[in-house]
Structure 1
Amino acid sequence: MTRRDRMQIMVSILNTCTRGANKTRIVYQANLNFRTVNPYLDLLEKKGLLQVTEDRTTLYKTTPRGLELINNFSSINEMLNL
């Protein structure tokens, strides 16, 4: 089993949040823990790739810019056959 790099982790988080997700769903879907997910969520929000909404619960949703990053990352992986 190989370790994922930061970019793979961030794309995994963005994929999980395409329809909106709470932190628990992100942790389980992206295979992270609650301690390591926070810096990624903060970074993705600051870069405008995730939108955070707080109603009754906090939900994270991938922005159009985040969706563009997912598509670009997938294209690069296909070109490199990864």
Structure 2
Amino acid sequence: MRRSRTAISVEILRAAMEGAKKTHIVYRANLNFEVVNRYLAMLEEKGLIEKKENLYQTTEKGKEFQEIARELGL
């Protein structure tokens, strides 16, 4: 079964809550590097995740997005 873009985004944000390297995000979200690269670029552009050195960290806006998605059952 395919996951929605929202579900994938939430998984990536969840993986990066405490800061995570790209490899950790790939394994945690069960995606490949090509897909993760596209999603990370989109999430950074939207201000939901930020890159600090070689770690990705979910922003406050990203945490709010996760909460809303969880409440909606996405």
Output the TM-score relative to the length of structure 1. Answer: 0.87
Q: Render the CA deviation track for 1:4-51: whole Å, top value 9, x for unaligned.
A: 011100000000000000000000000000111101000000100001
Q: Write the distance in 1 (CA, Å) between the matches of 2:50 and 2:71.
A: 24
How many residue pairs get aligned? The number is: 74
Other structure's SS at 1:42 match: helix
Please say if 1:37 is aligned against 2:36: yes
Q: What's 1:10 paired with?
A: 9
Counterpart pick for 2:55 among 52, 59, 64: 59
Equivalent AA in structure 1 for residue 32 of structure 2: N
Counterpart pick for 2:72 among 52, 55, 76: 76
- The Cα shift of 1:73 comes to 0.2
- Give the superposed CA RMSD: 0.9
Specify every segment of 5 or more residues in structure 1 that has no aligned partner in the other structure, as ranges. Answer: none
Specify every segment of 5 or more residues in structure 2 that has no aligned partner in the other structure, as ranges. Answer: none
Segments of 4+ moved more than 3 angstroms: none
Between the aligned residues of both structures, percent identity stands at 49
Quick check: which has more Rg, 1 or 2? 1
